[in-house]
Structure 1
Amino acid sequence: MTPELQNAGIDAWLVRFSDGIDPAVQPWINAFCQDCRTAFGGLLVELVPSYTTVLVQYDPWQLDDTGARRVIERVLDQMVPDSSGGGGRLVEIPVWYDPSVGPELELIAARHGWTPQQVAAAHAASEYQVFALGFVPGFAFMGMLSPELAMPRLATPRKKVPRGSIAIAERQTSAYPQQTPGGWNLIGRTPVVLFDANRTPMTTLEPGDRVRFISISRETFIKLGGDASPVEEVAP
């Protein structure tokens, strides 16, 4: 693997590891981020990993772009891919899978001749990698979803997707950390607070984490603080 470096302004370099989504790239991105934190030390402002790239932002008052590039190149030359079994922490997220909070559950089931319970079981059977955070604070892009569950985004996004909604789009899955518009297919809801600006860290999930969804009953969902209000907007 030979990552490409692209200048991203006076205080950042973009390191491209791949041109397409590939779970095999994640151990390299994990290792690069860990090593960059050590190599840059206090000169590092922020690292922003995604599916295929990492944006390295540094303090331009203490380090120019040439110096920052040299640091990045040294990290890349000495980097060994993370072999810890997929990266960061394993996080379990409880989910109530039900058509009232996951309207597309039945649509996906009908597409394959399954029951909604089989769709829920298939979604909960896999472990997912958090590739990136984006869209809104705490929204984790996770993959890879099994091909059988892959669904295109909705033709017309909903104006309101309830907080905690578990959703899929193509071969990605995620959980909405707050009520927002959204075009992903909803299949359930979690009571977990995924983003809180008053806590540290603010987000429940971080890039590199591994996630398992745990199916729970409506009663357990409510006991854990979940809002069982049905989704108001039905996708066209």
Structure 2
Amino acid sequence: MKPKVMAISDNSIMIEYPAEISEEINRCIRSVTREIGDRISDLIVDIIPAYHTITVNYDCLDVDYNSLLEKIEEIVSMSMDDGDEEREIVEIPVCYEEPYGLDIDEVCSIHNMTREELVKRHTAPEYLVYMVGFTPGFPYLGGMDESIATPRKKEPRSRIPAGSVGIAGSQTGVYPIESPGGWQIIGRTPLKLFDPYRENPVLIEAGQYIKYRSISSKEYEEMERNPEVDHG
């Protein structure tokens, strides 16, 4: 799978794969991103991986474009899809009960299914984290059961609590901080996906897998009161 490598501004080079959400493409993106960071980090300002692109930003006053382009093309040509990569799974406990599942009854009504069936289908997969963005630590996930795909809300909320778990189209994700948003909120996790005071502020990283686990409101409250205790 050969991507396009092109300049998109005076200070940016983009590596572009086919425009699709694919685990194979994501593995290539992670491999190339890792190699660029390991081999030419001194030549770049930052690197931004997304669903099917990688944007490399650099200082055009300090770094020659043609030289950098040649190095990036060499890395891209040598990087492989690491299909044997071991899965790192992060379990996310989620309470789907009131008052946390703000839209769960509406989502159940759209799909003509019980809450128990919706939760079963939502917690069944291991979701690949394709990228992190939008707000600090917000994971964009792939692999949701298409039978529970749900359109965004017609009118976004101005405030969604941190930890809210939502569905938008065929995607599911977790709001790491309080923010506006239009996703259908079906539950909430007591885990802090983003904490600026932690050594590593972001709990979830691209390339990991998320596994949701249903918990009761009582368990949620206990985990919220005692975040340092292992509740697994």
TM-score, length of structure 2 as denominator length: 0.90
Could you tell me how far apart the structure 1 residues matched to 2:128 and 2:168 are? Answer: 15
| Alpha-carbon contact 1:3-1:18 (below 8 Å) kept | yes
Unaligned runs of 5+ in 2: 226-232
Report the counterpart of residue 34 of structure 1 in structure 2: 34
Report the counterpart of residue 92 of structure 2 in structure 1: 93
Q: Note closer, same or farther for the CA distance 1:74–1:20 as it changes in structure 2 (3 Å cut).
A: same
SS in 2 for 1:196: coil
Could you tell me how far apart the structure 1 residues matched to 2:133 and 2:167 are? Answer: 15
Report the counterpart of residue 205 of structure 2 in structure 1: 206
Could you tell me how far apart the structure 2 residues matched to 1:88 and 1:59 are? Answer: 35
What is the identity, as a one-letter code, of the residue corresponding to 2:91?
A: E
Report the counterpart of residue 185 of structure 2 in structure 1: 186
What is the identity, as a one-letter code, of the residue corresponding to 1:222?
A: E
What is the identity, as a one-letter code, of the residue corresponding to 2:194?
A: F
Report the counterpart of residue 174 of structure 1 in structure 2: 173
TM-score, length of structure 1 as denominator length: 0.89
| Alpha-carbon contact 2:158-2:181 (below 8 Å) kept | yes
| Alpha-carbon contact 1:99-1:187 (below 8 Å) kept | no
Could you tell me how far apart the structure 1 residues matched to 2:58 and 2:83 are? Answer: 27
Could you tell me how far apart the structure 1 residues matched to 2:61 and 2:200 are? Answer: 27
SS in 2 for 1:178: coil
TM superposition shift of 1:66 = 1.1
Report the counterpart of residue 49 of structure 2 in structure 1: 49
TM superposition shift of 1:73 = 0.5
Could you tell me how far apart the structure 2 residues matched to 1:202 and 1:48 are? Answer: 18
Report the counterpart of residue 138 of structure 2 in structure 1: 139
Q: Give CA deviations for 1:156-196 in whole Å, capped at 9, x if unaligned.
A: 10111111000010111111111111100001000111112
1:1-236 pair list within 5 angstroms: 1-85=1-85, 89-225=88-224
Could you tell me how far apart the structure 2 residues matched to 1:151 and 1:41 are? Answer: 41
Could you tell me how far apart the structure 1 residues matched to 2:61 and 2:222 are? Answer: 51
Q: List structure 1 runs of 4+ shifted beyond 3 angstroms.
A: 58-62
Could you tell me how far apart the structure 2 residues matched to 1:15 and 1:159 are? Answer: 35
What is the identity, as a one-letter code, of the residue corresponding to 2:155?
A: T
Could you tell me how far apart the structure 2 residues matched to 1:97 and 1:17 are? Answer: 37
SS in 2 for 1:206: coil
| Alpha-carbon contact 2:144-2:170 (below 8 Å) kept | yes
SS in 1 for 2:40: helix
| Alpha-carbon contact 1:99-1:106 (below 8 Å) kept | no
| Alpha-carbon contact 1:104-1:187 (below 8 Å) kept | yes
Q: Percent sequence identity over matched residues?
A: 30
Unaligned runs of 5+ in 1: 227-236
* TM-align CA RMSD: 1.7
What is the identity, as a one-letter code, of the residue corresponding to 1:207?
A: A
| Alpha-carbon contact 1:23-1:144 (below 8 Å) kept | no
Could you tell me how far apart the structure 2 residues matched to 1:156 and 1:38 are? Answer: 44
| Alpha-carbon contact 1:58-1:68 (below 8 Å) kept | no
Could you tell me how far apart the structure 1 residues matched to 2:54 and 2:166 are? Answer: 25
